[in-house]
Amino acid sequence: MKKLLSILGAVAITASGATAVVACSTNAKINDSYAVIPNAFALNQQLAKEGYSIEKLQVKFLPGLKEATIRYMGQPSEAPFVTKTIKINPVTNDISKIITKTSLAISAFEEKKQTESEILRAINLLNQTNLTTNEVKINYDKELGQVTLTGIGDFNGTVTIYDEPMEWSDLIPFQNLGDIYFSHSVIDYFNENVSILEEDEQSGATVMFIMPFVLEFVGGKNLLMEFFQKQMVDWGKSWMSTPNVAKATFDSNYQGSFILTPPTNKIFNSGKMTFSFNAIDDSRDYVTSTHKPLDSFEKGHYTYIEETLDKSYDANNIDEMAKDLVEKYFGEDFANKYSSILNEEFWITNVDYVKKTAVLEVKPGSMLFYNHDEELLAVVNDVDVPFYAYKINVTFG
């Protein structure tokens, strides 16, 4: 059971692609262009002013910061759009005005991630932007514990990012999760068996029982968590025996609130995070021939499905594999509708172009397809409804 908290570091989905779009909460259309500071914080502020439910949107800037992709992250059955790419007219090209969050615990990264390219990626995730080495020159001084970004080309200005403790709200800035898939049987079990415990016992049980489900979807909007995966695992284990770290409540309509108050540590300052969400009973399709768990699925463990695709793949077209598999199981219309995001719904690993094999895995927290992290499953063994995790072994060509 102690392993289940490794899910905290899981990375879920990001946005990509483009298609037609209408507003989430009004009859107006999202504009084709916006004049804003080129980061998602500024764009989300503008969208919120226009009445959009930004908890159902995910913004990803494209390199160069002249375009951004908006992806709908609510229930697919209610989606007014899949993605739309809009033009950005930057109101500033000053790096110091684009990069405003300057505390980043770089020394806590895994050693392999303490490279300039990975540090720049983390800075982008922290600031919800997408600067590349075409826009900035990066200088990482490990001894001084700081990174300097200097604008080049169309960009100007300089900003310094410090290797120092950061705020939890910077790691997880989006705490209204909107709709998430969360089995009502788990919530009912929690209300009947956990919420009645003494407060200190309830906290540990909440860390084990509720937090992994919630954070599958948190990871979908907060990809910076990837850089602190090991620490999150270790902290999660300790939080299970730490009083008053976590509290969860659910009303009769399955509107949920999860409050996390982590103790201070060397990486993050003290703080409180309150996640609100609408828990939708989980009815997502499985990526299987039946869209349901197969007879071979084993509760509590990864199940490996064997699949074949006739197409041959190489480094130039491997990103077509997910769409091809989805088309095989769900049809051409479905695959075309979601083609702009399918590569963000799967991990493709263990690709061997000689043996013509690869492994596809639906990312936990997907709004399209069912899957869970294996470590999460250990905690729900007492619930009558079975939970599964699976990977797909693909032989191709």
Helix (H) or strand (E) holding 40: helix 40-49
**pLDDT category, 375, cuts 50, 70, 90?**
low
pLDDT of residue 384: 65
Q: Is position 125 within any domain?
A: yes
- Cβ neighbours of 342 (radius 10 Å): 24
Q: Is position 193 within any domain?
A: no
Q: Is position 223 within any domain?
A: no
Give me the residue label for tokens 């480094």: 315
pLDDT digit string (tens) for 147-183?
999 999 999 999 999 999 999 888 887 788 889 999 8
Task: With a cut of 80, say whether residue 369 has pLDDT above it.
Answer: yes
Q: Is position 65 within any domain?
A: no
* Domain stops at, among 106, 134, 164: 164
pLDDT, greater one: 4 or 158: 158
What range does the domain containing 107 cover? 95-164
Angle at which helices 199-209 and 211-221 cross, to 10°: 50
pLDDT digit string (tens) for 347-366?
999 999 999 999 999 998 89
pLDDT of residue 212: 84
Task: With a cut of 80, say whether residue 15 has pLDDT above it.
Answer: no
Q: Is position 54 within any domain?
A: no
Q: How many domains are contained in the chain?
A: 2
pLDDT, greater one: 279 or 22: 279
Helix (H) or strand (E) holding 127: helix 116-127
* Whole-Å CA distances, 205 to 133, 155, 195, 229, 261: 45, 50, 9, 21, 15
Task: With a cut of 90, say whether residue 9 has pLDDT above it.
Answer: no
pLDDT digit string (tens) for 255-271?
999 999 988 888 888 88
Lowest mean pLDDT among 100-114, 297-311, 344-358: 297-311
Average pLDDT over residues 284-299: 92
* Whole-Å CA distances, 333 to 75, 323, 329, 393: 18, 11, 11, 24
pLDDT of residue 218: 84
- Cα within 13 Å of Cα(206), Cβ side: 25
Q: What are the residues facing 87 on neighbouring strands?
A: 33, 67
Query: What is the distance, to the nearest Å, from the Cα of residue 267 to the centroid of all Cα atoms in its chain?
Result: 21
| Tokens representing residue 311 in the block | 């197409």
Assess contact for 87 and 69: CB atoms under 8 A: no
pLDDT of residue 270: 80
Q: Is position 128 within any domain?
A: yes
Could you give the CA distance from residue 67 to residue 191 in angstroms, rounded to a whole number?
Answer: 45
Q: Is position 243 within any domain?
A: no
Task: With a cut of 90, say whether residue 397 has pLDDT above it.
Answer: yes
Lowest mean pLDDT among 77-81, 112-116, 242-246, 341-345: 77-81
* Domain stops at, among 130, 164, 198: 164
Q: What are the residues facing 141 on neighbouring strands?
A: 146
* Domain stops at, among 164, 198, 219: 164
pTM score, whole prediction: 0.80
Q: Is position 354 within any domain?
A: yes
